[in-house]
Copies of this chain bind each other. A is one copy, B any other.
Amino acid sequence: MTGLRARQKADRNRRILDAAAVLFREVGYDSARIEDIAERAEISVGTFYNYYENKGDILLATVSMEVEEVLTAGRTIVDNPPLSVMGALDALIGEYYDHSLFYLSKEMWRTAMAIAIQQPESPFSKRYTELDRRLCDQISTLILKLKAKGVVALDIDAEAVGEMFFNNLNMMFTEFAKRETMSLDDLKARVSRQNRPLATLIAAR
């Protein structure tokens, strides 16, 4: 039932995504012109705008692919976490952070974050926000799991605590993306220190 039209559409969409990913990597987001992306994807500029609302959308599409991978990696850790609050948090957050610079540069992250904030109604911004929510849920799920394992006290509001850990790690990642000099190790160390009080206090005793 896949008519010619549907097939061509999927094909063009993939060509655009590939072309954009290559160009962003090669010359950075700002210097990649729509005209160049279109040329490489063998379509016209106008057609680009039939597939994506604006230049930012195509970057967020790229980022989305990346975050999906992190979520998958995180699931493995949540399913079988280290049996201490700090240990589990460091493992999961370390996974997020280590993965983050694999495909994307700090500059690309900054641009993606900026767009997600600035145009919250665009489809890919919604998708980006949705991914954030799933990351946040994953942290809450980890706390729940630790509760089930007797590592975290039973009277703790796992959702509230999870949200606080997540907002903290997310804000710190933004900080990291802003400072070209800050290393992944700096980032992890600072977040670890920030997490420690809450992590210690929610431990079952």
Chain A interface (Cβ < 8 Å from any Cβ of B): 110-111, 113-118, 120, 129, 156-157, 160-161, 163-164, 167-168, 170-172, 174, 177-180, 193-198, 201-202
> CB-nearest residue of chain B relative to A178?
B120
* Minimum C-beta distance from A10 to chain B (A): 31
Residues of B within 8 A of A117 (CB): 110, 113-114, 117, 174, 177-178
Q: How many copies of this kind of chain does the complex include?
A: 2
A46–B101 CA distance with the chains assembled, in angstroms: 39
Max chain B C-beta neighbours (<10 A), residue from A115, A156, A161, A178: A178
A198-B164 in contact (CB<8A): yes
- Give the secondary structure class of A's interface: helix
Residues of B within 8 A of A198 (CB): 161, 164, 197-198, 201
A170–B117 CA distance with the chains assembled, in angstroms: 13
Q: Which 7 A-B pairs have the closest CB atoms?
A: A167-B171, A201-B201, A114-B114, A114-B118, A120-B178, A167-B168, A114-B117
Contacts A129-B178, A167-B168, A168-B167 hold; do A160 and B197 have CB atoms under 8 A apart? yes
Residues of B within 8 A of A180 (CB): 120
A197-B167 in contact (CB<8A): no
A118–B116 CA distance with the chains assembled, in angstroms: 12
A157-B193 in contact (CB<8A): yes
Residues of B within 8 A of A178 (CB): 116-117, 120, 129
A178–B196 CA distance with the chains assembled, in angstroms: 30
* Minimum C-beta distance from A190 to chain B (A): 8
A110–B201 CA distance with the chains assembled, in angstroms: 35
